Amino acid sequence: MTTLKSELGRRFTERFGHPGTFYASAGRINLIGEHTDYNGGFVFPGAIDKVIMADIAPNGTDRVNVVAMDLGEETSFGLEEKDLPAQPWARYVFGVCREIIKAGGKVKGFDAVFAGNVPLGAGLSSSAALESCFAFALNDLFNSNTIEGFRLALIGQATEHNYCGVNCGIMDQFASVMGRRGQLIRLDCRSMEYEYFPFDPKDYELVLIDSRVKHELADSPYNRRRESCERVAARLGLDTLRDATMEMLDGIRSDISDEDYRRARYVIGEKERVLAVGEALQRGDYEEVGRRMYATHRGLSEDYEVSCDELDFLVDLARQCGVSGSRIMGGGFGGCTINLVRRDLRDRFIATATGRFEERYGHRPAIYPVVISDGARRLD
C-alpha cells in the first residue's frame, strides 16, 4: 500500500506539477450468494486488502486527464455524453462522472493517476474497485460528501450498465464502497437492507486460488444468464426470482426451456443456502458453511454453467484435501476459487493444489490469503 501510494504520488507530481489527494477502494470476496443479486436475493461479500488507488486534484477546467499507471496509458475527455472515451478502462471513469452528473451531483475537470493491486480477471471485482474509488473521490472533491455510500454503489453499477455493457447486480460496488475491516456483509438485494457479520474464525481461514485463466466468451454469457432468470420470473408473474419456489418452478417446467429451468433451479437453491450460511455463522458452525459452499459450486457448475474445467479441478482437489468448503467465486468462466480451510490443513492444501494444477495446466495458480478490510476511503 505504501509503495503503491508513493509511486502514484511521484507519477502525479511528475505529470501535473503539484500534489493531489489519495483515495482507494477495495476488491471483494463473496462467501456465498452468487448470481443472486440481480435476482433480488441475498449476497454475503466483504471488501479485501487489495485496492485500486488514485491520486486526484481538480484542475479548474472542464476536462478530465487520467493516467492509468499500470497500463502506461493516458487519456483526456470532456464531461458531456458525447465525450465518451475510446479506451475501455477510461469508460469506467467517464461513466462514474456522467452518472454523478445525471443524478444531480457535480463534477468538474480534474487530473488523476490511478493504479492497483486487485488482480484483473480473477473475479475480485477490480472494475467495481475502480468505479468506487472515483465515485468516492468525486463525492469528496466536488459534492462535500453529500452522496451517501449506497448511492455511490448505485452510481458504479449504473456505470457498468450504461457505459461498459455489463448488466451486473449491486454486490460488487456495494462491497467495495461499504466494506469494513474484519466484517462480511449480508445484503438483501431487494430491500437493500444489510447487516455486518464479524468474520474471524479461530480455526479456519479463507484462501483464494486464482486459476489465472479467463475464458472470455463472445456473446456476453453474464447478461444471458440474467435474461434467463428474468424470463422465468416473468413467466411466474414475479418481478424477480426472489419469491419463486421449487414447486412454482416445477409447475411451469414444460413451458420453459431446459436451460432456463436449470438457471432458475440454481438461483432458488442459492437463496436458501445464503440464509443457512448466515445461521451457521451465528452458531460458529464453519463445517456447515463449507458444505453449503460445495453445494453452491455444484449448482454453478452444472445448472448455471459458469464454471470451467480448471475451476472444477480446483474444487475437486480441495475436497480430496479435506478442505471444508470450496467454490468458484464471482461472475465465473475462470478466476478464483474461494476455500474455507482449517488452519492445520492450509499449507498442505496449498502445496497440493499448486503442484497438481501446474502438472495439469502447465502454469501455477496464484494464492491470496483473504484479509477482510475497509472499503472506499480517503488516504491521508
Closer residue to ligand GLA (CB): 89 or 361: 89
Asked if 34 is part of the footprint of ligand GLA (rule: CB under 6 A), the reply reads yes
| Segment interacting with ligand GLA, rule: CB under 6 A, options 98-106, 165-173, 238-246, 349-357 | 165-173
Asked if 169 is part of the footprint of ligand GLA (rule: CB under 6 A), the reply reads yes
Rounded to the nearest whole angstrom, what is the least distance from the CB of residue 222 to ligand GLA in the complex?
7
Rounded to the nearest whole angstrom, what is the least distance from the CB of residue 331 to ligand GLA in the complex?
3
Provide the grid cell at 334.
475462470
Q: Specify the residue for cell string 452522496.
A: 147
Mapped onto helix, strand or coil, the DSSP state of residue 222 is helix
Closer residue to ligand GLA (CB): 21 or 167: 167
Identify the CA nearest to 137 among candidates 6, 19, 1, 23: 23
| Segment interacting with ligand GLA, rule: CB under 6 A, options 65-73, 114-122, 164-172, 250-258 | 164-172
Closer residue to ligand GLA (CB): 171 or 241: 171
DSSP states of 180-202 as a string? Answer: BTTEEEEEETTT--EEEEE---S
According to CB under 6 A, which one of 26, 31, 32, 35 is a site residue for ligand GLA?
35
Rounded to the nearest whole angstrom, what is the least distance from the CB of residue 134 to ligand GLA in the complex?
17
Rounded to the nearest whole angstrom, what is the least distance from the CB of residue 58 to ligand GLA in the complex?
30
Q: Which residues are catalytic?
A: 172
Closer residue to ligand GLA (CB): 97 or 168: 168
- Please name the residues in contact with 93: beta carbons below 8 A apart, sequence gap of 6 or more: 64, 66, 112, 130, 134
Binding to ligand GLA (CB under 6 A) within 106-125 occurs at: 125
Whether 379 and 184 have beta carbons less than 8 Å apart is answered as no
| Segment interacting with ligand GLA, rule: CB under 6 A, options 12-20, 30-38, 47-55, 66-74 | 30-38
Q: Measured in whole angstroms, how far is the alpha carbon of residue 198 from the centre of its chain?
A: 20
Closer residue to ligand GLA (CB): 172 or 310: 172
Separation CA 225–CA 217 (nearest Å): 13
Asked if 172 is part of the footprint of ligand GLA (rule: CB under 6 A), the reply reads yes
Q: Specify the residue for cell string 468516492.
A: 136
In Å, what is the CA distance from 257 to each residue of 66, 68, 262, 269, 283?
46, 44, 9, 18, 40
Rounded to the nearest whole angstrom, what is the least distance from the CB of residue 210 to ligand GLA in the complex?
15
Which residues pair with residue 197 across a beta bridge?
Answer: 184
Binding to ligand GLA (CB under 6 A) within 61-100 occurs at: none
Size of interface with ligand GLA, in residues (CB under 6 A): 11
Closer residue to ligand GLA (CB): 35 or 263: 35
Asked if 335 is part of the footprint of ligand GLA (rule: CB under 6 A), the reply reads no
Asked if 168 is part of the footprint of ligand GLA (rule: CB under 6 A), the reply reads yes
Strand order in the sheet with 42-43: 42-43, 183-188, 194-198
Rounded to the nearest whole angstrom, what is the least distance from the CB of residue 306 to ligand GLA in the complex?
8
Rounded to the nearest whole angstrom, what is the least distance from the CB of residue 171 to ligand GLA in the complex?
5
Separation CA 377–CA 363 (nearest Å): 36
According to CB under 6 A, which one of 299, 330, 335, 375 is a site residue for ligand GLA?
330
Closer residue to ligand GLA (CB): 30 or 55: 30
How deeply is 233 buried, as exposed, middle or buried, from its count of CB atoms within 10 A (0-12, 13-18, 19+)? buried
In Å, what is the CA distance from 378 to each residue of 71, 324, 341, 351?
23, 37, 33, 38
Mapped onto helix, strand or coil, the DSSP state of residue 267 is helix
DSSP states of 294-352 as a string? Answer: HHHHHIIIIIS----HHHHHHHHHHHHTT-SEEEE-SS-SEEEEEEEEEHHHHHHHHHH
| Contact residues: ligand GLA, CB under 6 A | 34-35, 37-38, 125, 168-169, 171-172, 330-331
